[in-house]
Each structure stands twice: as structure tokens, then as C-alpha cells.
Amino acid sequence: MKSAFNPFEMAQAQFDKCADILELDAATRELLRFPLREYHFAIPVRMDDGSFRVFRGFRVQHNDARGPSKGGIRFHPQETVDTVRALSMWMTWKCSVVDIPLGGAKGGVICDPHNLSLREQEQICRGWVRQVAKNVGPTLDVPAPDVMTNPQHMLWMLDEFEVIHGSKNPGFITGKPVGMGGSLGRTEATGYGVIFTLREAMKVLGMDPAKSLASVQGFGNVSQYAIRGFLALGGKVVGCSSWDQADQTSYYFRKATGIDPDELISITDRFGGINKEKAKGLGYEVLPGDAWIEQDVDILIPAALENQITGETIKKVSMRVRVVAEGANGPTTPDADAELKSRGIFVIPDFLANAGGVTCSYFEQVQCNMNYFWTQPEVLQRLDEKMTSAFKSVYELAQNRNLYMRDAAYVISVSRVAKACHDRGWV
């Protein structure tokens, strides 16, 4: 029998491969293969009907050698501690690859917000903070939203933290609403960040954006801003896909003359689903969802979900494709990755391409700590500098050591964290 997929085992396997390339010593491997600290706790909540329920919560701090740890909190009925462990490790590498002075963490609560009232959700948020209030904070560990948590949850958590500590600490948590400590530019940050790295990739590959076509999977937060960013470079996007809640399947919306995000947004629901009848009325062809991968384009941008470029689907990728910019987390399976590598397709790996989100969260933390907020153009300018410089470091290493871009990104991240641990005298 095939054992169930375990994300932590996958994260460790990726680390082991990189540790071999770097020839890391045994103690450093032992330190970085596992989280530094884990908190597992109970959150008792009095429900609206007067009964009590106990929810299980976690905070896993993978590594904080480079600075306070950073990472989201997810609410999910199938949350497992191994998922949280894997995500915390990936956060360490993501913060390191863009060279922001933060470590990696992740948290979660096993619960389904769909079946909880707002008051019950507030109690879970406050209960989560009460359990770890001494172990998180602006100088220790800075949480953020993730799957099924939003700016309101972050604000309740901030409020509880400030009540416990008796002081204002807006830098404790990021992803807050703008005007309550949130940063301008956060909504655009991940999608634009993908395009800042893509722009640099096209420069080194000698590709002219004005002559380049892209196909995108998804029409949500990351994909909408990636599309806008690519159009601003002068490129054309021939189509994007989205999930249709009513039909329980995905569709691809194609327009040979190029899609227009503004007209598509006017017919999109809040979950990023596009209305197919209205799209047809606007001159779009509506195709099956997996058509995004088989277009005759130069660039593919998977920006919806994981496991999309697989050993099977990669067979449909056109010979014209030169770049894959991974907006989503984990869109490419290891077998497909080997195929991309052998076909010489240039990959901008997920934890580099989509690091714009965490970079802007870091900017939110910085602005909160000094209690002075930047304008949106200032935020995006700084984001561009960070993403561009991260891309250049990874690309130079890939060139100098003849490494695949994903391996080069891992080597940079892991070596920076390992060096911080050595310099501190930990191992």
C-alpha cells in the first residue's frame, strides 16, 4: 500500500538533497532537519449554544538564527502538525532566499471556520494568542494570515496580545487591515513579485516582453496582479483559468487578442471564479480548465494551486515554452521538475517567485515597529529592489555552479541559515 503523502517528509527530502550539495556537517543537518521549537496546546471555547469545545492549536518555529521567525496561521479541519512543520521549514528558506532578517514559523488550529460563528472564531483567535503570548511577539515570532484566516482574525489576535502585554505592539502580527497597521501594496505584492523576477529572467534569456505570450492558471490574488504586471511590461496574456463553484470544475478563458483583467474582474466572484456565460459575451473562448498548460506561449504562470505540472500534464507543454514562473506554492511535482530541467525550460522556483508576499509582510512589520507608514509606490519600489536582487543572486549561483534554478535557490537559502547558526556558535 502507498503511504499517505507527508509534506514534512518531502520538506526534509528537499533539505537533504541541498545539504548534500553543500556538504553540510552532521550537526547542522540535524539542527535544520527539524524545528527548533514546537508548541502544541488546547484552546477551550464556550460555543454560542453554551456548550464547551476544545480546539487543538500549534505554533512551530523552525529556525530563528537570522531573526524573529515569521509565518502564517491556518484554520483547517484537516490540519496536521506535519503540515505545519513542513510549512515552517519552507518559511525559513523563503525568508532567507530574499535575504530578509527573519526565520521561519507556521501555526494552525484544527477547526472549520465555515461552521463557526464570528464570536466563536474570535474566541479561537484570542485563545491561540493566550497560549503562546510569551513565545511570540515583534522580536520573537511574527504571525500572519494563511488558509482561512483573514485581516479580522489578525486584528483580534493583535488586540489580545496587546491586552496581555499592556502595551501597543502593532509589529506583533502582519496582514492587518490598512489603517489598522496593515501595509499598502500587500494585496499586489505576491503577483507583482512574480513579475519582477520574470522580468529579470527575460532579460538574461534575451526575451522581448512585447513579443512574448503568457498563459496563467488561476484568476485570484496572485494571478490577477501577475497578469497586470506582465501587461505593464508590454507582454500579452492569452488566457487564464478559474474554478467554477457551481459546476465543480475549472475552465480556461482564452482570447487570442489578449485578455483584459479589468473586464474579467467585473464578472468574477470573490473567490476568483469567472462567470462563463458573461465571458462568452465578452468574446472569450471557454475551454476545459487544463487548457492553460497546452497553449503555444513563451511563459507559463501556474498561480492557483499545488500539483499542477505533473508527469502527465507536462506532456502537453508546448515546445515554445521557455519560462515557468511558479506563482503558486508547489505547482510542479518532482518528476515534472526533472522533465522541465531536461527540456532546458527556465524555472523561477515558487519560494523565490512568490516571496513578494512575505517580503511585503516584513515591510508591514518594519513600518509598524517604527509607527510610520510608506506610500504604495514606496512599498512597491522596495519590493522590486528585494525581488530583483534575490533573483540575481540565485541566477548568478546557478550560472557559476551549473545548477538548476530550484537547486540554486535552495543552496542560497540553506547556506545563509547554516552560516547564521555557525556564526552564533550553535553548531
Residues annotated catalytic, as ranges: 106
Does an H or E element contain 145, and which? Answer: strand 141-145
| β-bridge pairing 213-217 and 299-302 | parallel
Q: Say if CB 81 and CB 67 are below 8 A apart.
A: no
* Contact residue for ligand NAD among 327, 387, 391, 398 (CB under 6 A): 327
Q: Site for ligand NAD (CB under 6 A): which residue of 131, 307, 310, 329? A: 329
Q: Tell me if 289 contacts ligand NAD by CB under 6 A.
A: yes
**Ramachandran angles phi, psi of 40, nearest 5°:** -120, 130
One of 304, 380, 383, 417 touching ligand NAD (CB under 6 A): 304
Of 32-40, 199-207, 323-331, 392-400: span binding ligand NAD (CB under 6 A): 323-331
Number of residues that bind ligand NAD (CB under 6 A): 24
The window from 21-29, 121-129, 266-274, 406-414 that contacts ligand NAD (CB under 6 A) reads: 266-274
123 Cβ partners below 8 Å, 6+ apart?
A: 43, 45, 46
Q: How many CB atoms lie within 10 A of CB 60?
A: 29
Residues 6+ apart with CB under 8 A from 164: 129, 130, 133
Largest Cα–Cα separation, the chain = 65
Stretch that binds ligand NAD, among 56-64, 73-81, 299-307, 310-318 (CB under 6 A): 299-307
Q: Which of 287, 288, 279 is nearest to 260 (CA)?
A: 279
Q: Taking the complex as a whole, how short is the minimal distance between the CB of residue 130 and ligand NAD, in angstroms?
A: 27
CA distance 214 to 384: 21
Cell of 106: 507556521
Q: How far apart are CA 17 and CA 398, in angstroms?
A: 16
Strand boundaries in 47-127, DSSP class E = 52-63, 69-75, 103-109
Name which of 58 and 243 has its Cβ closer to ligand NAD: 243
Exactly one of 79, 272, 348, 363 binds ligand NAD (CB under 6 A); which one? 272
AA letter at 309: I
Min. distance of Cβ 240 from ligand NAD in angstroms?
8
250 binds ligand NAD (CB under 6 A): yes
Q: How far is the CB of 280 from ligand NAD (least distance, A)?
A: 18
**Which of 127, 239 has the CB closer to ligand NAD?**
239
Q: Applying CB under 6 A, which part among 19-27, 120-128, 265-273, 315-323 lies near ligand NAD?
A: 265-273
Site string for ligand NAD, 87-116 (x = CB under 6 A): ------------------------------
Q: Are 106 and 76 in contact (CB under 8 A)?
A: no
Q: Does 357 bind ligand NAD (CB under 6 A)?
A: yes
Among residues 279, 328, 348, 352, which is the contact residue for ligand NAD, using CB under 6 A? 328
In the range 361-380, which residues lie near ligand NAD by CB under 6 A? none
d(CA 348, CA 341): 12
Q: Which of 133, 204, 286, 305 binds ligand NAD (CB under 6 A)?
A: 305
The least distance separating ligand NAD from the CB of residue 242, rounded to whole angstroms, comes to: 4
**By beta-carbon distance, which residue lies closest to ligand NAD?**
220
DSSP SS3 for 32: helix
Cβ proximity to ligand NAD: between 63 and 308 the closer is 308
210-237 b/e (C-beta count within 10 Å ≥ 16 → b): eebbbbbbbbbbbbbbbbbbbbebebbb
Residues 178-237 that bind ligand NAD (CB under 6 A): 190, 217-223
Which is it for the CA torsion 407, 353, 97, 307, positive or negative? negative
Binding site for ligand NAD (CB under 6 A): 190, 217-223, 241-243, 250, 271-273, 289, 303-305, 327-329, 354, 357
